[in-house]
Amino acid sequence: MWPQAAYEQEILVSRFFGRQRVLLNAPEAIHHVLVENAANYRRSPASVRILRPIVGRGLFLSEGDDWKHQRRTIAPSLAPRVMPLVARHVVLAAQDAVELLAGQAGQPTDLLAAMQVLALEIAGRSMFSLEMRQEGPALRTMITDFGLRLGKPYLFDMLLPPSVPTLRDLARHRFRRRWEKFMDSIIADRLAEVTPESPRDLLDILRAARDPETGEAFSRDQLRDQISTLIVAGHETTALTLFWSLYLLANAPAEQQRLADEVAGVDINAATGFDSLQRLPYARAVVGEALRLFPPAFVMVRQAIGDDRWQDIAIPGGSLVLISPWVLHHHRRHWANPDAFDPSRFLNGAPAIPRLAYLPFGAGPRVCVGAQFALTEAALVLALMLKKFEVRLAETAPVLPMAVVTTQPDHHAQFLLRPRAR
Ligand code: HEM
């Protein structure tokens, strides 16, 4: 996807059908676009066209004052103080998944599929307190169908102005109607239940959320779009983080043993799941390093609204600016031994991580609002998996990363799980 120069230079300018595209690798330039002059940049028209049918008018695609209102209202619902509640759902769902996998121990196991199902289960339970056994398969089918047929950028998506619909846009429109109906019915079922005094899940928290400046609450439609946004933005990215963490550990016996030793000494349960993260620094470091080597969000795309400039590079209004966590995390100038798996980079006492060269969750006002959620989930699931199993690959073919909306493995690699002696 990127030429060698991308991993060595600070700025790479190219043209795409007559329009300028700039890839930024210099931390100051990234700071300029994502932080200092963020108001001059918006999501690209292609992102809006492709994602609108599934995330609607939720936080991810909103802009300007609407975005400010949504962000202020949502952010407290995903703040660190809510994480003990999230951790409870994570631990319970992960314990069930580990039990299920234990039944297949010794046989080749598709850990990508297992992590996708688990991440969706966690999203469902944390949003709705629903076990996803009933809705899960339908939700997964719709999301997968969208990803495979409609959620990928095609040439016309990028070339035609948003006002000119493509054939695929018509299919996306039909998908939107089905999706709205599906999500509305899940939410309606859940809202029909008696509201408890203390919130059980993110739906309870989001319903009670108010914009701290205006006191406004989300309408029913906004609630649906926010929940869709959180599920879509959060579950595949976290499933991939887990898949790549397990893949890296399967190829690194010493690191895997170190993690197994760490988790053996920690009791991880639903009540104290969040607190136990303090005692799992190596699990968190493995997740940090997996996010560096295989960042699920491999590129962030922005369109300049008005003309801008960074040093001697002109960024005309309408041009695209790309910031690629994938490139930055493998960049020769930012990292020693950039392609090696070394979780100790993320342990206390290691040299500081280069500023704005590590961006798995982006930066600036639009930084991932679910980062705490994702990190809590990934470290706890990984710890529970490694507590129970020794993880090995059941095949020798390398697993290659592919840029398909997120950083996907090129095939469903098979693993062998061997229960650890207690
Ligand atoms: C490892 C997992 C995850 C990764 C790698 C990830 C990555 C990102 C990145 C890079 C962005 C910034 C995009 C940009 O600036 O263009 C972002 C935004 C966002 N993420 Fe995540 N994310 C993850 C998990 C989650 C989870 C679990 C949730 C929800 C619970 C979530 C919800 C969102 C939302 C709503 C935004 C848009 C924020 C805004 O525009 O203000 N993400 N994510």
pLDDT tens-place string over residues 365-394: 999 999 999 999 999 999 999 999 999 999
User: Is-contact 276 83, C-beta < 8 A?
Assistant: no
Residue 144: per-residue pLDDT: 84
- Which atom of ligand 1 is found nearest the CA of 241? 1
Q: Residue 325 — φ and ψ, nearest 5°? A: -55, -35
- Which atom of ligand 1 is found nearest the CA of 240? 1
368 ligand 1 Cβ < 6 A: yes
User: Does position 268 have pLDDT exceeding 80, yes or no?
Assistant: yes
296 ligand 1 Cβ < 6 A: yes
Q: What DSSP assignment string belongs to 196-265? A: PSS--SHHHHHHH---TTT-PPPPHHHHHHHHHHHHHHHHHHHHHHHHHHHHHHHT-HHHHHHHHHHHHT
Residue 228 alpha carbon to ligand 1 centre in Å? 13
Residue 366 alpha carbon to ligand 1 centre in Å? 8
Q: How far apart (Å, rounded) are the C-alpha atoms in residues 405 and 294?
A: 13
Residue 422: per-residue pLDDT: 67
323 ligand 1 Cβ < 6 A: no
Q: How far apart (Å, rounded) are the C-alpha atoms in residues 265 and 257?
A: 13
Tell me what the mean pLDDT of segment 248-257 comes to.
98
Q: Which of 246, 240, 273 is nearest to 126 (CA)?
A: 273
Tell me what the mean pLDDT of segment 47-52 comes to.
92
Average confidence score pLDDT of the chain:
93
Tell me what the mean pLDDT of segment 201-227 comes to.
90
Residue 224 alpha carbon to ligand 1 centre in Å? 17
Which three-class secondary structure string do you get for 302-320? EEECCCEEECCEEECCCCE
- Which atom of ligand 1 is found nearest the CA of 67? 41
Residue 139 alpha carbon to ligand 1 centre in Å? 20
User: Is-contact 280 266, C-beta < 8 A?
Assistant: yes
300 ligand 1 Cβ < 6 A: yes
Buried b / exposed e along 40-74 (16+ C-beta atoms within 10 A)? bbbbbbbbbbbbbbbbbbbbbbbeeeebebbebbb
Q: How far apart (Å, rounded) are the C-alpha atoms in residues 204 and 89?
A: 14
Residue/partner pairs of 346-349 with CB below 8 Å, 24 or more apart? 346/284, 346/285, 346/288, 346/289, 347/281, 347/282, 347/285, 348/281
238 ligand 1 Cβ < 6 A: yes
Helix (H/G/I), strand (E/B), else coil: 82:
helix
User: Does position 194 have pLDDT exceeding 80, yes or no?
Assistant: no
pTM of the model: 0.95
Helix (H/G/I), strand (E/B), else coil: 49:
helix
71 ligand 1 Cβ < 6 A: yes
Using one digit for the tens of pLDDT, what is the confidence trace for 290-327?
999 999 999 999 999 999 999 999 999 999 999 999 99
Residue 369 alpha carbon to ligand 1 centre in Å? 6
Using one digit for the tens of pLDDT, what is the confidence trace for 77-88?
899 999 999 999
Residue 288 alpha carbon to ligand 1 centre in Å? 15
Residue 139 pLDDT level (bands cut at 50, 70, 90): confident
Helix (H/G/I), strand (E/B), else coil: 43:
coil
> For strand 320-323 and strand 19-24, is the pairing parallel, antiparallel, or unpaired?
parallel
User: Is-contact 223 187, C-beta < 8 A?
Assistant: yes
Q: How far apart (Å, rounded) are the C-alpha atoms in residues 266 and 382?
A: 13
114 ligand 1 Cβ < 6 A: no
The neighbour count for residue 106, using CB atoms within 10 Å, is 9
Residue 199 pLDDT level (bands cut at 50, 70, 90): confident
**Atom 37 in ligand 1: which residue has the minimum CA distance?**
60
Using one digit for the tens of pLDDT, what is the confidence trace for 108-135?
999 999 999 999 999 988 887 776 677 8
- Which atom of ligand 1 is found nearest the CA of 58? 35
Chain position carrying tokens 């230079």: 9
Higher model confidence: residue 127 or residue 29?
A: 29
356 ligand 1 Cβ < 6 A: no
- Taken in order 258, 264, 270, 272, the sign of the CA dihedral is negative
**Atom 1 in ligand 1: which residue has the minimum CA distance?**
238
The neighbour count for residue 177, using CB atoms within 10 Å, is 10
From 74, 240, 368, 380, give the residue whose CB has the most ligand 1 atoms within 8 Å, as the site to mutate. 368
Chain position carrying tokens 């918006």: 42
Q: What single letter denotes the amino acid at residue 64?
A: G
Q: In sequence order, which ranges of 129-192 are alpha helices (DSSP H)? A: 136-145, 155-159, 167-191
Tell me what the mean pLDDT of segment 255-269 comes to.
97
